[in-house]
């Protein structure tokens, strides 16, 4: 279930991108060539606007989501805040916030200092995604925190639309304070971390492919539809919640492997 949700969230937001310029094979080849050249960034969301980011604004018609995306639910000032609010009228019961990078990135280290939303039925996501909206196959790497179990991390990855996932204990409540999360994407390996501690390492092997196509980096907060309550829990009708991101960063692989310190590490950055 986690895979279908991450896929749907990425696909619909990605659908706001420019029209396709190349077929899947050409785009994947170009993406591989550009992996090493992609520029790194560190974003602490200190300005009212965020150049290089796109904020979603549309009604989301998907059976697993009880959430539409609203620009007003993404607040940038001294950090990034994603709001989830009840909404009236027909359709989805909630509005949530979603933001993504304009440009794709590939192999490297992806970091976030975040405080996840707590509460049943809520999902805080931090992930890379590419797929048909960008003229490529569906490759994706996810960090998800479920509000009903914020002491666990859901790690997932897609290769050409095929999902694998793991549920990993964190040893802390990700909704109770800011914590540093990261995944490092290398050719043949993905490593997930929290607070500098390795949680999961997945290596490529026979019958175990890993993502290869560069994707866009997303952060979002949403309420799950009651039909998937067995995975995420029920969202009470009056639920209001926030997910906060103090820092989001991408470091290209060569710099990450040279031992460069985490881009989001800073005094008072985590608790």
| Residue 192's CATH number | 2.60.120.200
Cβ–Cβ contacts within 10 Å for residue 148, how many? 18
264 found inside a domain: no
Active centre residues (catalytic): 140, 144
- Point out the least confidently predicted range of 47-61, 220-234, 255-269: 255-269
pLDDT tens per residue, range 140-175: 999 999 999 999 999 999 999 999 999 999 999 999
pLDDT higher than 80, residue 111: yes
Banded pLDDT at 37 (limits 50, 70, 90):
low
Range of 121's domain?
2-257
Closest CA to 24 of 215, 217, 213: 213
Q: From its phi and psi, is residue 89 left (phi > 0), alpha (psi between -120 and 50) or beta?
A: left
77 found inside a domain: yes
Phi, psi of 44 (to 5 degrees): -110, 5
Instruction: Give the C-alpha separation, 191 to 186, whole Å.
Output: 8
Q: Are 215 and 17 in contact (CB under 8 A)?
A: no
Q: Are 250 and 41 in contact (CB under 8 A)?
A: yes
Total domains present in the chain = 1
- In eight-state DSSP terms, residue 11 is H
Banded pLDDT at 260 (limits 50, 70, 90):
confident
170 found inside a domain: yes
Structure confidence at residue 2 (pLDDT) = 41
85 found inside a domain: yes
In 94-178 the beta strands, taken as DSSP E runs, fall at: 94-101, 108-115, 122-130, 139-146, 152-159, 162-169
Cα(first)–Cα(last) distance of the chain, in Å? 31
Instruction: Give the C-alpha separation, 9 to 11, whole Å.
Output: 6
Closest CA to 140 of 150, 123, 125, 122: 125
Structure confidence at residue 135 (pLDDT) = 94
Instruction: Give the C-alpha separation, 96 to 93, whole Å.
Output: 10
268 found inside a domain: no
pLDDT tens per residue, range 58-84: 999 988 899 999 999 999 999 999 999
Q: Are 264 and 180 in contact (CB under 8 A)?
A: yes
Phi, psi of 55 (to 5 degrees): -105, 130
Taken in order 7, 215, 167, 235, the sign of the CA dihedral is negative
Its pTM surpasses 0.95: no
262 found inside a domain: no
pLDDT higher than 90, residue 136: yes
- When pLDDT is averaged across residues 24-41 and rounded to a whole number, the result is 57
194 found inside a domain: yes
């Amino acid at each position: 279930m986690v895979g279908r949700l991450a896929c749907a969230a990425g696909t619909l937001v990605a659908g706001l991108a420019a029209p396709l310029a190349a077929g899947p094979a050409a785009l994947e080849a170009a993406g591989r060539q550009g992996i090493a050249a992609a520029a790194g960034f560190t974003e602490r969301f200190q300005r009212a606007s965020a150049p290089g980011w796109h904020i979603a604004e549309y009604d989301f018609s998907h059976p697993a989501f009880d959430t539409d995306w609203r620009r007003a639910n993404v607040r940038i000032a001294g950090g990034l805040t994603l709001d989830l609010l009840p909404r009236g009228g027909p359709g989805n019961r909630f509005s949530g916030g979603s933001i993504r990078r304009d440009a794709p990135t590939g192999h490297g280290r992806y970091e976030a200092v975040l405080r996840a939303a707590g509460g049943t039925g809520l999902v805080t996501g931090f992930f890379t995604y590419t797929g048909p909206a960008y003229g490529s196959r569906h490759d994706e790497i996810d960090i998800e925190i479920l509000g009903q179990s914020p002491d666990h991390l859901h790690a997932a990855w897609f290769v050409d639309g095929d999902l694998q996932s793991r549920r990993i204990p964190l040893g802390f409540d990700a909704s109770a304070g800011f914590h540093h999360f990261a995944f490092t994407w290398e050719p043949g390996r993905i490593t997930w971390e929290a607070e500098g501690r390795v949680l999961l390492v997945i290596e490529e092997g026979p019958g175990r492919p890993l993502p290869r196509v560069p994707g866009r980096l997303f952060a979002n907060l949403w309420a799950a539809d009651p039909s998937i309550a067995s995975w995420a829990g029920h969202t009470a009708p009056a639920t209001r919640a926030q997910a906060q991101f103090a820092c989001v960063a991408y470091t290209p692989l060569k710099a990450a492997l040279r031992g460069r310190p985490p881009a989001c590490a800073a005094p008072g950055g985590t608790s």
